[in-house]
Structure 1
């Protein structure tokens, strides 16, 4: 069992010591310190949170109760150690192997807002983004449909209309954790579309209000709101669990991402959307992803927007043994199935989806279009939610959604990126659901 300390603003917490006894761990204040680096320390009998913190000169953030193969402490550090601990610290820990990695601002969101539409509050009246109606993706507004034609071509490309007919529950009963920059909690589009408030968390500000912060049109402000809105356009009856790990500039810490994944697992998420990434892999986040896989929770991760190979982490880990049945990596194509100019690519990339000019809710009751692999990922997330709501086995879904993708290499298309946009390619929602629900 993992016990989380300090970043959730707890005042006191009694934790098990390493393998024996109990120990009270002092915690940081509500405005928890952000650490330059983080260390994973293998624990031994007799260790206490105080002794480990003292040896490293850091702050204990998690203390694991010696589950088989995972008897560790997670320690935040601000002293420069360059990936290794000093000899004095290692002597104090009996020379054991300690893993250290960069923590602060290691992760960033991936997307660019390209257009806004103000004055749209009335269009969201009644709150709920609804299913395909009259050939256009629409929003339910006080009992009548108000057409939103901006995304019609995108939804036609992935077969959303047919997909929603094949999955008439529309995601009902499924909870999707959006781990991002937060969302606009007051946006009418999210009325009755969020999970219970006691499942929300802001790991950036260490409180229970994951509200987007920033200035409209700058940085990442609106990123999470857009991502959540895309999920709901695909699976309109699903519930969004908002978890904030990114600041207004779009950056966030390793510890925030790992603890948000753990939080989502513990609070009933069925699918986790990670429209964020890092140029470096993380053992700390790996452990959280492994716990998600063991719990049957699916994770979708965007590939990054630098037009480079390799793709960002954790998307890059999607083919790894132990994660390949639960983690899906997603890049972006345009409406002609051509790789988006910004999308990263690699042999590790599993699939792509349309990620250019995707309209969705924006802060202050508005609507905005964003482009990025961040926008492609929630289309896949919403598709998984549709399948889960119809009773599909989650253990098979990550494989099937990639296997049933539409070929983006035929007739020489994307020749420069052969086998680097997935084995097949672009999301095909009807093909996926027919294979899954038959």
Structure 2
């Protein structure tokens, strides 16, 4: 998708006075050679986004904001011009510039501060962001760029490292970087698959591994929409540890106060990374591995557990996790095939406007036991993964 594509968002009925429908540009994950950099957005969405409602963030924020924790975003960079992140971004090298806009969007999901007249905000609004370039300036990543980004994040003191790129091949350098992070008690949260491609498929593509999410010790995340569905597109993982909102979600632009709309597992990883910051701030004695285990333990139970920030922050480690009673009709549902990714994005947004209180519950179509629990969150090993 290009940044010029627009979709329609309908604010909830309670916010009807805020201006009816809003057309937002779609966030690009990469830019073609010679394409202009992603700029600001002229549109501001003032209602509560569906993803914040599903994650119960309004209630979660009463118990913590991620203060004292640094979250690295290994992506296209994070713009120092983004008002919602002003004063809380430290850039490694040239990562303070973000031509694509993707890294800034993810950083906003993690830590954007609330603004007057806007109800969107990041999960951990008091956390600091470390901008680390994991791609070239067009958004293309390699094993080397991602490995270098992870190492740079560790060396700069990040406690949580969000990795947006999902690569089709592993490498010794990438495994070494993952092991380096584990050795320094830094939790890597990574997209289980590349962000959704434009070309949807009518049949389920074969499931496969993507890296670094498939490496041992990495918390892998898959995306879903407001209905708990993930359209069958070009990419499907063999397994994932957590599911979080990532299909048709609201986020910030690299400059200005306007908003973009985006889809992809990397965006879902942003929500998980933000929640990890909340947990590491509230429970600093927990190690990275213990934090990962706690996020899966407190998640809403399903074949791919659904992220539950409220339970993760309000439950006491070592005691049974607690959570609010589920809404009626919140039983797990299967991920349906959808021949149009764009249509799924619009549907998610329209349902958010109409329902407002949908509970996101995700079950992956090919049911698997989450890797993280099965392997007990052992640190990564510098050896080729088994198939």
- Regarding TM over 0.5, the answer is yes
Distance of 1:372 and 1:272 partners within structure 2: 17
Q: Which has the higher contact order (CA 8 A, sep 6+)?
A: 2
SS at match of 1:299: strand
Give the RMSD, CA atoms, in angstroms: 2.7
Q: 1:155 aligns with which of 40, 48, 52?
A: 52
Query: CA 1:183–1:209 in structure 2 vs 1: closer, same or farther (change >3 Å)?
Result: closer
Q: 1:228 aligns with which of 92, 107, 122?
A: 107
2:379 paired residue number? none
1:302 paired residue number? 191
The answer to whether the 8 Å contact 1:183/1:225 transfers is: yes
Distance of 1:371 and 1:185 partners within structure 2: 23
Deviations 1:65-109 (A, max 9, x none): xxxxxxxxxxxxxxxxxxxxxxxxxxxxxxxxxxxxxxxxxxxx9
SS at match of 1:379: helix
Q: 1:284 aligns with which of 149, 159, 173?
A: 173
Structure with greater proportional strand content: 1
Query: CA 1:227–1:369 in structure 2 vs 1: closer, same or farther (change >3 Å)?
Result: same
Distance of 1:148 and 1:308 partners within structure 2: 39
1:434 paired residue number? 314
Distance of 2:46 and 2:123 partners within structure 1: 14
The answer to whether the 8 Å contact 2:192/2:237 transfers is: no
Deviation of the 1:162 alpha carbon: 2.1
The answer to whether the 8 Å contact 1:257/1:285 transfers is: yes
Deviation of the 1:150 alpha carbon: 5.0
State which drifts further: 299-308 or 284-293: 299-308
Deviation of the 1:404 alpha carbon: 2.2
Deviation of the 1:193 alpha carbon: 1.8
Distance of 1:311 and 1:225 partners within structure 2: 26
Deviation of the 1:387 alpha carbon: 0.8
Number of residues paired by the alignment?
264
List gaps (5 residues or longer) in structure 2: 1-26, 32-37, 112-121, 198-204, 320-387
Deviations 1:258-284 (A, max 9, x none): 122111111110100001111011210
The yes-or-no answer on 1:177 pairing with 2:72 is yes
SS at match of 2:279: helix
Q: 2:251 aligns with which of 354, 360, 363?
A: 360
SS at match of 2:290: helix
List gaps (5 residues or longer) in structure 1: 1-108, 124-146, 203-207, 214-220, 409-418
TM-score, normalising length: structure 2: 0.63
Distance of 2:299 and 2:187 partners within structure 1: 18
1:270 paired residue number? 159
1:118 paired residue number? 41
Q: 1:189 aligns with which of 70, 73, 84?
A: 84
The yes-or-no answer on 1:380 pairing with 2:272 is yes
Distance of 1:181 and 1:117 partners within structure 2: 16
Query: CA 1:300–1:110 in structure 2 vs 1: closer, same or farther (change >3 Å)?
Result: farther
Deviation of the 1:148 alpha carbon: 3.2
The yes-or-no answer on 1:334 pairing with 2:225 is yes
The answer to whether the 8 Å contact 2:76/2:95 transfers is: no
Query: CA 1:352–1:345 in structure 2 vs 1: closer, same or farther (change >3 Å)?
Result: farther
Deviation of the 1:161 alpha carbon: 1.8
Distance of 1:112 and 1:287 partners within structure 2: 26
The answer to whether the 8 Å contact 1:116/1:369 transfers is: no
Deviations 1:149-205 (A, max 9, x none): 252x21121121222223x2x01110011010012211212211213xxxx224xxx
TM-score, normalising length: structure 1: 0.56
The answer to whether the 8 Å contact 1:184/1:212 transfers is: yes
Distance of 2:222 and 2:29 partners within structure 1: 12
